[in-house]
Amino acid sequence: MKIDRIIVAALLVVLCCTARTSFGDQPSFPMVCRGGAGMRIMVNHDVDADGIPGATAMFIFFKAASRPGSVSQPLAGECTWMDRTLKSGEPAVLWVRAPHVEFAFQVEGDGRVSRDASGLRLSPEGNSNEAQKWHYMTDGVLKGKLFTVNVYNGSGRVLVVTSVGP
C-alpha cells in the first residue's frame, strides 16, 4: 500500500536524522546555519568562590530562516532545521558548554576586537576535541560560512548543541 511506504519512509528519515547524545537519551536533530551579520556570540565562564574558572558556555544568537535547509541554504545570520522552519516560540539561540575550552581574544581601547593576518583574534583554545568543535562554529559565525549542528530544545530557552559538522 502506498500510504504504508510513505509512513515507513518518513520514519526512516526521522531515525536517520536523529542522533543520540551524551546528555542522556535526548534525541538531537540537524540544523544548518550561515554565519555573518545578524549572528552574535556570547561566551561566559563558570568561576568558583576562589576565582578559578570552570566550564565555558557559548551562546550563538541567530535569526530564523524562512525556509527549511533542505529547500535552500539560510541567509547570513540565519539558522533553520533541515526538514522545516523554526516554529513560533522555538529558541533562536544555540548553546554549548564544555569544561576544557577557553576563549582567547584581545579588545582594543575603542572596543574593537584585535585583528591579525588571519582575521579577528577570537578563538577557542583548549586541549580537548571540544575546542575544535567550537572553532568550527565560531569560524562559521565570524566568516559567514555555512555550518551544521545537531541540537535539541533544552527547556524552551536554548537549542543545546550535541555535535557539529556535516
62-89 residue pLDDT tens: 999 999 999 999 999 999 999 999 999 9
Query: Which residue do the cell numbers 583554545 mark?
Result: 125
Helix, strand and coil content of the chain, in percent to the nearest 5, comes to 20, 40, 40
pLDDT band at residue 25 using 50, 70 and 90 as cut-offs: low
The reported pTM is 0.77
pLDDT digits (tens, 9 = 90+) for 108-163: 788 777 777 766 666 777 767 888 888 899 889 988 999 999 999 988 899 999 99
How many angstroms separate the CA atoms of 132 and 122, rounded? 13
Query: Which residue do the cell numbers 516554529 mark?
Result: 87
Maximum C-alpha span of the chain: 69
pLDDT on residue 131: 84
Select from 158, 163, 162, 166 the least CA-distant residue to 60.
Answer: 158
The three cell numbers of residue 119 are 582575521
pLDDT on residue 19: 39
Task: List C-alpha distances in Å: 19 to 15, 22, 137, 149, 161.
Answer: 8, 10, 19, 11, 11
Taking the C-alpha atoms of 146, 149, 152 and 154 in order, what is their torsion angle to the nearest 10 degrees?
-80
pLDDT on residue 127: 66
